[in-house]
Amino acid sequence: MSALVNGRAMRVADVMVPYSDPAVTHGLTAFETLRVDHGDPRSLALHLARLGESCDALGLPRPDPIVLAEEVRKIGASLNTPLARVRVTITGGGLRIVAGEPADPTRIHGPVRAVRGKHRDDPVLPGSVKHGSRASWVVAVRRSGVDEVLLVDARGRFTEGTTSCILAVIDGALWTAPEDGRILPSTACAEILERAARAGVPVLRLGPPADHPWEGLYIASSLRDLCPVIELDGVKLPGWDPIGRLLAS
């Protein structure tokens, strides 16, 4: 067993979504991807709360967080691997899919090649909604031939990456974007900011300048944790700085 569909156990390969489901015809889904360490889902409450808010915004029934938490733990434990990836998907047609697979440990803290891209606000849904209509971001990364596209707003500040949050160390402080409704509130970022607070590292939620001599430029996500950007728009960057290494450890 590595998947549950409305509570029914099956193999991931056997999970089927009907063509008539709006998830297929319109990309109408809400989802969350969690990292599971030795059967323990990280930041589970934050992920499930964000999923519920996304469902509300999309007009989908909000799933029972107690049921979902049990299903996530059940799938994570069934994989019997030190590091796993569990994705929860709520489809427009009423399916609740919890599916898991082993995760690649080499991606944790792995170096990232990136390019800058233009941030565009969605005209209907706030950026805080995690939905399945992400074709434009997938295409942007594929066309660029890099690991991640880092989005820049009209003020010249980084907002978020296509699959990550963006952080930068500038003059000994950790900069990241504000949660102002334009971007997805990042569970990985929340965890790293907690580490910064414990370590006494100042935090500025102003959005890192996209053209600045940073001491370190980073992305962070649930499955990768904190990762150094070692190349941006074809220009090599120094990678880890002392504060980044401290927060990664």
CATH at residue 9: 3.30.470.10
CA distance readout (Å), 26 to 31, 128, 133, 136, 182: 15, 19, 8, 14, 22
> Do 112 and 45 fall into the same domain?
no
What does the alpha-carbon distance between residue 195 and residue 214 come to, in Å, rounded to a whole number? 20
Q: Give percent helix, percent strand, percent coil of the chain, each to the nearest 5.
A: 30, 30, 40
Check whether residue 164 and residue 177 sit in a common domain.
Answer: yes
> Quick one: 195 and 120 in the same domain?
yes
**% of the chain with per-residue pLDDT over 70:** 100
The last residue of a domain, from among 103, 133, 164: 103
Query: pLDDT (tens digit, 9 = 90+) per residue, 174-224?
Result: 999 999 999 999 999 999 999 999 999 999 999 999 998 899 999 999 999
Q: What is the model's pLDDT at position 120? A: 93
244 and 171 co-located in one domain: yes
SS3 state of residue 174: strand
User: What pLDDT was estimated at residue 33?
Assistant: 96
Report how far residue 194's alpha carbon sits from residue 171's, in angstroms, rounded to the nearest whole number: 19
Q: Are residues 26 and 137 in the same domain?
A: no
Distance from chain centroid for Cα 165: 7
Residues 80 and 59 in one domain: yes
Q: Of 62, 82, 103, which marks where a domain is finished?
A: 103
Provide the domain count of the chain: 2
* DSSP structure class, residue 194: H
Is it the case that residue 75 has pLDDT exceeding 80?
A: yes
Calculate mean pLDDT across residues 35-42.
Answer: 93
Q: Does 237 lie in the same domain as 136? A: yes
Is 86 found in the same domain as 131?
A: no
Tell me the CATH number at 202.
3.20.10.10
Distance CA 83, CA 16 (A): 25
In this structure, the strands spanning 96-102 and 203-204 are unpaired
- Mean pLDDT, the chain, rounded, equals 96
Statement to judge: residues 115 and 62 lie in one domain? no
What is the structure's pLDDT at 61? Answer: 94
Q: How much is the pLDDT for 99?
A: 97
Q: Are residues 177 and 57 in the same domain?
A: no
Domain that holds residue 44: 3-103
Q: CA-to-CA distance for 84 and 76, rounded, in angstroms? A: 7
pLDDT tens, position by position, 96-145: 999 999 999 999 999 999 999 999 999 999 999 999 998 999 999 999 99
56-66 residue pLDDT tens: 999 999 999 99
**pLDDT bracket for residue 1 (50, 70, 90):** low
Instruction: Give residue 143's pLDDT.
Output: 96
Domain boundary among 103, 132, 150: 103
**117 in the same domain as 213:** yes
